[in-house]
Amino acid sequence: MKHKIFVDGQEGTTGLKINERLNLRDDVIILKIDPQKRKDTSERKRLLNEADIVFLCLPDAAARESVSLVENDRTRIIDASTAHRTDDRWAYGLAELSAEHRKRIKSSMRVSVPGCFATGFNAAVYPLVKEGIIPSDYPLTCHSVSGYSGGGKKLIEQYEDITENSERLKSPRFYSLGLTHKHLPEMQKVCSLDFAPLFTPIVSCFYQGMSVAVPIMPRLLPKRLGAAELQEFFSDYYKNEHFIRVMPYNAESNLDNGYLGAEECNGTNYLHLFVFGNDDRILLLSRLDNLGKGASGAAVQNMNIMLGIDEKKGLDF
């Protein structure tokens, strides 16, 4: 049996990547909208209600509108926007966090794809809070470096427009300096934190890939643990998860002459989780493809779970 799939927002960065992955498969039928009818509500409504699975790759308001157009109890929706990530009626689509997350995704009609930064942060922080290693009121900070594709079409055009004043785009650039980044609500809610972390994202002059860093001070933990012990904890926590790879502790093989790049997971659905440091200072670092595990890869993985097929299908290449 082939499943009918509709990508609403197929021309966006995430929509294009989802279609790339689905085009390699023989178990789905991709419903396409005529480009001339992309804004035709009646045509979108027809396709939304015809599909077995709908991917929403839209701005938040448009995603909410699409959900309202579904009038049957059969179409299942996977939303890549921010619109539903903290909505309790929607399953949070990061299955690796716990058996309960995966179970809820499998049975849900509505699944939200986590934000790329939140994926890296939550993969590192959720297990620590869940197991009582850090308290819910711990003063967390997070810093991340990302390729410019995470900013969508406008930022991509800005970086790739040869007529731009490219000199000002060469250096990494902090942004969201009002400290109200749109991924903060899901970081706080999913990890059951009393307070949102202080999060500072940085965009840099490469297309895709990201590193998300979370410092931990052992002296502030209820039970003092060093970096090596935390690496062992994560290795055990994620030992059965195919797409999360906990890397060896402080291994020189992780580095390129002492440097850690952000692009090594590009084109994959993998997330690399590193633990660096010692008994006094620890740095947790997630590396992932912001267009893969941070967007399209996670979306397709959720689809596989919802359909009860091999979670890795279409994602290991």
Q: Is 143 helix (H, G, I), strand (E, B) or coil?
A: strand
What mean pLDDT is predicted for residues 209-216?
98
Cα→Cα distances 200→7, 285, 291, Å? 31, 14, 20
Mean pLDDT of the chain: 95
Q: Checking DSSP bridges between strand 28-31 and strand 210-216, what pairing results, if any?
A: unpaired
Residue 6, pLDDT score = 97
Residue 76, pLDDT score = 98
Is the Cβ–Cβ distance between 27 and 18 less than 8 Å?
no
pLDDT at 301 over 90: yes
Residue 289, pLDDT score = 98
DSSP state of 87: -
The ranges assigned to domains in the chain are 3-114+294-307, 116-290
CATH class assigned to 116-290: alpha beta
Q: Could you read off the pLDDT of 89-130 as tens digits, one per residue?
A: 999 999 999 999 999 999 999 999 999 999 999 999 999 999
Residue 164, pLDDT score = 60
pTM (two decimals): 0.95
What mean pLDDT is predicted for residues 249-259?
87
pLDDT at 227 over 90: yes
Catalytic residues: 116
In 3D, which of 288, 141, 132 has the Cα closest to residue 209?
288
CATH class assigned to 3-114+294-307: alpha beta
d(CA 50, CA 72): 9
What mean pLDDT is predicted for residues 75-89?
98
What mean pLDDT is predicted for residues 12-34?
93
Q: Could you read off the pLDDT of 160-188 as tens digits, one per residue?
A: 886 666 778 889 999 999 999 999 999 99
